[in-house]
Amino acid sequence: MWTAMPDRPEPPGMDRTSEFALSVDDLTVAYQEKPAIWDIDLEVPEGVLMGIVGPNGAGKSTLIKAVLNLIPRAAGTVSFYGKPYERARSLVGYVPQRGSVDWDFPTSVIDVVTMGLYGKLGWFRRPGKRERELALFALEQVGLVDFVDRQISQLSGGQQQRSFLARALVQDAQIYFMDEPFAAVDAVTENAIVDILQALNKRGKTVLVVHHDLQTVAQYFDWVTLLNVEVIATGPTAAVFTPENLRKTYGGQVASLNGGILAGAAGG
Amino acid sequence: MMPLERWLIELLLNFVTREELNAFLRSPQNTAMLVGCLIAVSGALLGVFLLLRGMSLTSDAISHTVLLGIVVAFLLMTEVFGLHGDTSSPWLILGASLAGVGTVLLTEMLYRSGLVKQDAALGLAFPLLFAIAVILVSRYVEDAHLDEDAVLVGEIGLAWANTNSHCFANCESVTVAPDHEAAKFARQCNNCRELGISPRDERAVFSETCSNCGEYNPAQAWSAGLLEREPVLVFFPKSITVMLLLTLLTLGFVLVFFKELKLSTFDTGLAQALGFRPGALHYALMILVSLVAVGAFDAVGSILVIAFFIIPPAAAYLLTDRLAMMLLLSPLIGGVGAYYGYDLARGQLFSFIAVADGIAVLNRLFGLSLPEEWDSSISASMVLMIFILFLLAWALSPRYGLASTLIRRANRRRVFENQVVLAHIHNHQHTTAHDIELNVDHLHEHFRWTERKMSRVLTGLRALGYIRIIAGSAELTDRGDRQVHAFRKTMLEAHNIPDLP
């Protein structure tokens, strides 16, 4: 179902049955009048595995937070499958940056994973046996089944990231937002996470990942958005992840990057 | 509040007689202990969330600024609406909770300006509001229920005396009007002060006023001798009612919103993304903290109350790593501390050691002449006792305590030393240089250890059956060999180091 914006006529020729998993329209977020992201237009088709790439301070995390209504928007609209966020909560899964929480919090791994189900439970209802089973299943998928009752501070960084991933998996969402899931994890964990993302993608889920490492973009993602306050380019990786676009995104910085990335990009 | 008290008394009267109940409530000790425990329980419950949100000191700020709310509400009541000012009035409580929320808002506003850090913002906001409160008190409020002493440590020892009376039989209210037989009159000079003359001066003008006219409830009427039959009365301390209500409110809040509080404390972002309202919960928490701070104000003052918010959760945090358990232990520690704190104030440590004896020993040992009787501030002693419990947790907690940390560290060091020596023997025992490398008399030189340390480790390894010593040279037993491989497997696997052949 495509709901047209009231103040903006539906573009002619728009196929009514095709819908985007996420449409962002003219989104601007400012921190004290300094724009963090500027006039973002973004349309993400259903079922893509998309990397959001850009230099430090490009507004990648800000984009995710603004889309999920976690920070105030200065302007713009966002819709998920044609619905505003308030009516699409159950379709959306979110994995914040690992550093955004206190891992010394007195709780266990399974408890953290169960938190992903709180949204479905709603106010007042407590998680029960069914929720525990769902959480266990998610922990199995991320390979943490031996750590179920561990205090979360006793996990390694990679294991913490995986528990966050399990928490998103139990949400059983249609579209996932992941804020730097590969930050400070070792190669083994990174591969495990990529496997999970691709498995999600195979099941038809749309996955958006804030990513830092240009070397792996072409390998991991079939769709990419290059961001530097504004959207520089967005589309299939093969078409968009070009030397030209990277130069626009990173400015002079890209000159010092080795040609392998761009060659890899061209090959991807 | 009165109907609630009455209901509670009627409930209690099913189990005890009226005389027993009155005797219990008229004991300063029982009321002080009860009020202290209730403050400790409600403070400790809320404190858990303050601690985990990294805002323990917000309770400090709030407990001070509620004074502003109390004073402003007091002035509004007495000056603007002409009501009687009473510190347990709902208006004062409302004012106080608004002041508490105001403090948090002001702090956040200062912090969000980006010009001051969070701790500084708190430090800026609350002294400002407190200073305004102090100025208002000293300028406008003469009725001293808000003096400096009360602000410091409160008057929990007097909590028993401030009661509501409830009448159950022979209830007779009396109105004494000037024509009542018991009315007393006093002659008063109307213009003496104005003219600066003595009442004997002939210009003095007198009028008669009734000195005891007014409404007498049954309790007042009986004590003024206006009744013939003694009414059946129960005197219920107001502090107990207030703190009981607040404790139940806090407990209910924590139980009902347990899941929501946990999520929004651990991960505000996810809580918001899932459609919970972390902001609303945050302010609900702040309102409760303000309410408890006001309720506790009379009893323990605005400084010591902080201890009831901070110390029990800090102790509970050391004892468990589950939130639910922490919410159980924290009020338990607070309550036990408050209970034995009263004993401490009266000279008993955990009801079996007399403080006087301790002082007597000090006096004898050092030739001092400290007074041996011990009678000190109840609220301060409660805080001291809660802190003693914290110290016990800090030293003895099985997982995070000082003692267990030291033991664990020593254990780890011993295991590590054993493994280092075993690995060395393993690496050299089949090489040509093994008689040089593994000579037990010189082994310590290779490690640059002291001879004593090496011989201790070797003795330990032999006792465990990991090595044997043949012709002055160490070699692994089968058991020791297995141990070396097992250790490599568990400890080094994470670093992708291949197993030994």
| Domain at B483, CATH number | 1.10.10.10
Same domain flag for B230 and B322: no
Residue B370 lies in a domain: yes
CATH label of the domain that carries residue B282:
1.10.3470
User: Does residue B105 register a pLDDT over 70?
Assistant: yes
Same domain flag for B281 and B315: yes
- Note down the domain range covering B143: 2-156+237-396
**A61-93, pLDDT tens digit by residue?**
999 999 999 999 989 999 999 889 988 888 999
| Mean pLDDT for all residues in chain A | 85
**What is the mean pLDDT of the segment spanning A125-150?**
92
Cross-chain Cβ contact A106/B114 below 8 Å:
no
Taking the Cβ of residue A124 and every Cβ of chain B, the question of whether any pair is shorter than 8 Å is answered with yes
**What is the mean pLDDT of the segment spanning B163-178?**
85
Look at residues B212, B236, B260 and tell me which one is the last residue of a structural domain. Answer: B236
User: Does residue A118 register a pLDDT over 90?
Assistant: yes
Structure tokens at B138: 């000293």
Taking the Cβ of residue A56 and every Cβ of chain B, the question of whether any pair is shorter than 8 Å is answered with no
Look at residue A6 in the predicted model and tell me its pLDDT: 44
A13 confidence band (pLDDT: 50, 70, 90): very low
| Residue ranges of A 17-46 with Cβ closer than 8 A to chain B | 32
Same domain flag for B14 and B135: yes
Report the DSSP beta bridge partners of residue B322. Answer: none
Q: Which residues of B touch A103 (CB under 8 A)?
A: none
The Cα–Cα gap between B75 and B89 comes to 13
How many C-beta neighbours within 10 Å does residue B366 have?
9
Mutate to test the interface with B, among A64, A98, A104, A115 (most CBs of B within 10 A): A115
Q: For A89, name the nearest residue in chain B, comparing CA atoms only.
A: B274
Nearest-by-Cβ selection for B260 from A102, A123, A156? A123
CA B18, B20, B26, B28 torsion-angle sign: negative
Nearest-by-Cβ selection for A115 from B256, B270, B326? B270
Same domain flag for B116 and B196: no
Q: Which residues of B touch A121 (CB under 8 A)?
A: 259
| Residue ranges of B 58-117 with Cβ closer than 8 A to chain A | 114
A256 confidence band (pLDDT: 50, 70, 90): very low
Half-sphere exposure of A83 (CA within 13 A, CB side): 11
The Cα–Cα gap between B199 and B207 comes to 12
Q: How far is CA A234 from the centre of its chain?
A: 15
Query: How much is the pTM?
Result: 0.82
Q: Which residues contact B466 (CB under 8 A, 6 or more apart)?
A: B418, B422, B476, B477, B479, B480, B483
Look at residue B431 in the predicted model and tell me its pLDDT: 76
Same domain flag for B447 and B308: no
CB B417 within 8 A of CB B459: no
The Cα–Cα gap between B69 and B101 comes to 10
Residue B324 Cα, gap to closest chain A Cα (Å): 9
A10 confidence band (pLDDT: 50, 70, 90): very low
**What is the mean pLDDT of the segment spanning B316-320?**
94
- B150 vs B465, residue with greater confidence: B465
Report percent pLDDT > 90 for chain B.
26
Same domain flag for B269 and B377: yes
Taking the Cβ of residue A103 and every Cβ of chain B, the question of whether any pair is shorter than 8 Å is answered with no
Look at residue A64 in the predicted model and tell me its pLDDT: 94
| Residue ranges of A 57-86 with Cβ closer than 8 A to chain B | 65, 68-70, 86
Look at residue B45 in the predicted model and tell me its pLDDT: 97
User: Does residue B151 register a pLDDT over 70?
Assistant: no
Residue B288 lies in a domain: yes
Nearest-by-Cβ selection for B270 from A86, A94, A108? A94
- B407 vs B91, residue with greater confidence: B407
Closest-CA residue to B99 (of B127, B74, B123, B64)? B64
Cross-chain Cβ contact A106/B317 below 8 Å:
yes
Q: Which helix (H) or strand (E) holds A25?
A: strand A20-31
Same domain flag for B378 and B363: yes
Indicate the length of chain B as a whole number: 501
**A20-67, pLDDT tens digit by residue?**
899 999 999 988 778 889 899 999 999 999 999 999 888 999 999 999
CB B341 within 8 A of CB B383: yes
What backbone torsions phi and psi does residue B190 show, to the nearest 5 degrees? -85, -30
DSSP character at residue A255: G
Same domain flag for B488 and B415: yes
Report the DSSP beta bridge partners of residue B288. Answer: none
Same domain flag for B388 and B250: yes
**A141-197, pLDDT tens digit by residue?**
998 999 999 999 999 888 999 999 999 999 999 999 999 999 888 888 899 999 999
Same domain flag for B63 and B200: no
User: Does residue B386 register a pLDDT over 60?
Assistant: yes
Q: Which residues of B touch A119 (CB under 8 A)?
A: 273-275
Q: Reduce the DSSP state of residue B236 to 3 states and report it.
A: strand
B172 confidence band (pLDDT: 50, 70, 90): confident
Residue B500 Cα, gap to closest chain A Cα (Å): 22
Residue B326 lies in a domain: yes
Residue A50 Cα, gap to closest chain B Cα (Å): 21
Taking the Cβ of residue B266 and every Cβ of chain A, the question of whether any pair is shorter than 8 Å is answered with yes
User: Does residue B374 register a pLDDT over 80?
Assistant: no
B314 confidence band (pLDDT: 50, 70, 90): very high
Q: Which helix (H) or strand (E) holds B86?
A: none
Taking the Cβ of residue B265 and every Cβ of chain A, the question of whether any pair is shorter than 8 Å is answered with yes
User: Does residue B497 register a pLDDT over 90?
Assistant: no
Taking the Cβ of residue B322 and every Cβ of chain A, the question of whether any pair is shorter than 8 Å is answered with yes
Closest-CA residue to B425 (of B494, B463, B479)? B479
Cross-chain Cβ contact B274/A123 below 8 Å:
no
What spatial distance separates the first Cα and last Cα of chain B, rounded to whole Å?
A: 80
Look at residue A109 in the predicted model and tell me its pLDDT: 95
Look at residue B86 in the predicted model and tell me its pLDDT: 62
Structure tokens at A134: 């769902």
Look at residues B179, B207, B236 and tell me which one is the last residue of a structural domain. Answer: B236
Same domain flag for B72 and B187: no
Look at residue A211 in the predicted model and tell me its pLDDT: 92
Report percent pLDDT > 90 for chain A.
60
Residue B35 Cα, gap to closest chain A Cα (Å): 29
Q: Which residues of A touch B52 (CB under 8 A)?
A: 102, 105-106
| Mean pLDDT for all residues in chain B | 85
Residue B407 lies in a domain: yes
Nearest-by-Cβ selection for B267 from A89, A115, A123? A115
B87 confidence band (pLDDT: 50, 70, 90): low
**What is the mean pLDDT of the segment spanning B443-451?**
84
Residue B499 lies in a domain: no
Nearest-by-Cβ selection for A101 from B266, B320, B326? B266
Look at residue B248 in the predicted model and tell me its pLDDT: 96
User: Does residue B144 register a pLDDT over 70?
Assistant: no
The residue ranges of DSSP E strands in B342-399, in sequence order, are 348-349, 353-354
Residue B162 lies in a domain: no
The residue ranges of DSSP E strands in A55-205, in sequence order, are 75-80, 92-95, 175-179
**What is the mean pLDDT of the segment spanning B474-479?**
85
Look at residue B499 in the predicted model and tell me its pLDDT: 46
Look at residue B211 in the predicted model and tell me its pLDDT: 80
List C-alpha distances in Å: B139 to B132, B136, B142: 10, 5, 8
Of A12-16, B189-193, B311-315, B401-405, the range with the highest mean pLDDT is B311-315
Residue B500 lies in a domain: no
Q: Which residues of B touch A118 (CB under 8 A)?
A: 259-260, 263, 271, 274, 276
The Cα–Cα gap between B27 and A116 comes to 52
Q: Which residues contact B103 (CB under 8 A, 6 or more apart)?
A: B58, B61, B62, B65, B125, B126, B129
Q: For A101, name the nearest residue in chain B, comparing CA atoms only.
A: B267
User: Does residue B88 register a pLDDT over 80?
Assistant: no
Residue B178 lies in a domain: yes
User: Does residue A260 register a pLDDT over 60?
Assistant: no
Of A251-260, B182-191, B195-204, B409-418, the range with the highest mean pLDDT is B409-418
User: Does residue A266 register a pLDDT over 80?
Assistant: no
Look at residues B202, B236, B270 and tell me which one is the last residue of a structural domain. Answer: B236
Same domain flag for B142 and B266: yes
Q: Reduce the DSSP state of residue A235 to 3 states and report it.
A: strand
Structure tokens at A217: 């973009």
B493 confidence band (pLDDT: 50, 70, 90): low
How many structural domains comprise chain B? 3
Q: For A171, name the nearest residue in chain B, comparing CA atoms only.
A: B274
